[in-house]
Structure 1
């Protein structure tokens, strides 16, 4: 799961990035519409959190752009503009959820989780390979009824691999999903995460395996 935060308040943006990485997945932040459009053209995001008042325009205009994306990310408008007409403008413009500032963190992430459940259920939210199941709506992996306690980055790797089961996923695509723009990526970091994920799948008796395609990437399939 990858999140893009479009917010020009530096302190709030930094807090949001940390909180979303803890609660949801990899998060990147930008401070204007132009930077957001550049990020969206460079990487795929499942959730975009955007303010209304940005230095180069109204965040609602970004929602119009997102309608052309396939698949379109879920969208959350997070703004101090909480007049009923402002809310209607954003929702009619394409926002999936609207939260006014100031907000309570517990409510923010409850609403985000509900939004993502709707988003992924609309896209068929349960994937399975062998006895390994992945619940996209709740971002959880299971072997039978046992939930696998996977760290954030291993969970992100598994998610992209199981979404493209039996197809090779390029290293570059995995790195783009797992690491943020500001992360310093060591040359063997991805291999280390994949190795640990393989070990965990074996330990839990999963009949799905990750195969290395040397110099290209990885593929997940059933044994």
Structure 2
């Protein structure tokens, strides 16, 4: 999952970026509204965490421009402004959630998870595919009732494949979801991650197939 943090308070911005990255999300970070508006116009994000009081372009203007272009990314407004009219205006413009500073980090993380589940069209906090289970709250996998310990990048890839089980996930979608602007993910690296995941899950009745020239398909073995 890919998240954009738009926050002009540099220590807070760095803290949020570090927190989200430590949870395995691909995170990009900008500090003004104009940069945010330009970035969301050309890059796809699952969630935008958007401050309102930004230099160069107000956060509400960024949100309005996003929705006017048909950008359906989830948006969490994060601001020190406490007036109810600001919350109402943000929600009317298409924001999905609203948190006022200061905030509880655990609540922030829970709201992020909830928004990302909703964005992926998932109502339950748990997904099962054969012997494989993903707890979306802890973002941990279990395989045949045993915790599946995975490196962060492999875990993020398997999470993407599980949430789209039965559908082909393109290599472009993998790169888009798993990397920020500062990251690189080659086709060879993707193939290595897929190969390692395939060895882990194949004995449990799951198939991770390569759809030549397109991407990968995770499903239960017929």
Q: 2-side partners of 1:123 and 1:70: how far apart?
A: 21
Counterpart Cα distance in 1 of 2:71 and 2:58: 23
Structure 1 pair 34–166 and aligned structure 2 pair: CA distance change class (3 A): same
**Residue number among 201, 205, 208 corresponding to 1:207 in the alignment:** 205
- Count of residues in Structure 1 that have an aligned counterpart in Structure 2: 220
Looking at structure 2, the residues matched to 38 and 9 of structure 1 have their Cα atoms a distance apart, in angstroms, of 20
Deviations 1:62-112 (A, max 9, x none): 333444677833321111212333233323333232222233433432443
| TM-score, L = length of structure 2 | 0.78
Q: How far off its partner does 1:147 sit?
A: 4.3
Q: Which runs of 5+ in 2 are unaligned?
A: none
Which residue is equivalent to 1:29? 29
- Alignment correspondent of 2:75: 75
User: Does 2:24 correspond to 1:9?
Assistant: no
* Partners of 2:17 and 2:27 within 8 A in 1: yes
Say whether 1:105 aligns with 2:105: yes
Structure 2 match to 1:195: 195
Q: Which residue in the other structure is 1:175 paired with?
A: 175
Give the distance between the partners of 1:220 and 1:164, measured in 2 at CA. 8
Aligned to 2:93: 93
Deviates more, 1:139-148 or 1:17-26: 139-148
Unaligned runs of 5+ in 1: none
Q: Which moved more, 1:146-155 or 1:5-14?
A: 146-155
* Deviation of 1:28 (Å): 1.2
Deviation for aligned residue 1:182? 0.7
Using the alignment, how far apart are the partners of 2:149 and 2:71 within structure 1? 28
Deviation at 1:59, TM superposition (A): 1.1
Distance 1:201-1:66 versus aligned 2 partners, 3 A rule: farther
1:16 shift after superposition: 1.4
Maintained 8 Å contact 1:141/1:148: yes
Distance in 2 of aligned mates of 1:200 and 1:68: 44
**Cα distance in 1 for residues equivalent to 2:137 and 2:45:** 15
Q: CA 1:104–1:166 in 2, change beyond 3 Å: closer, same or farther?
A: closer
